[in-house]
Amino acid sequence: MADTSGRTARAQGHPVAPALGGHQPSSARHPLVAVAIVLPLAILLTVVFGVWEAVITQASSVVGMLGR
């Protein structure tokens, strides 16, 4: 078996590209932007799998925790 410890691309000085965007963001993403990205997918999955009751239960739990 070959010894590969310490021979990663980053350790050898090669640039490592991020997985999706092609560039690294200079700052953190605003939480509302993250919500805007995730919410349509969450709604689609909820409609497709028909689990409105579970979503309502979880949402009410989160609201209850935030209200404390």
Written as tens digits, the pLDDT of the chain (68 aa) is 566 665 555 556 666 555 665 666 567 878 888 888 888 988 888 888 888 788 788 889 998 888 76
pLDDT reported for residue 20 = 61
Distances (CA, A) of 29 to 12, 14, 21, 58, 62: 30, 27, 13, 25, 22
The model's pTM: 0.37
Report yes or no: 16 and 9 within 8 Å, Cβ to Cβ. yes
pLDDT reported for residue 59 = 86
pLDDT reported for residue 19 = 60
pLDDT reported for residue 61 = 92
If one counts every other C-beta atom within 10 angstroms of the C-beta of residue 55, the result is 13
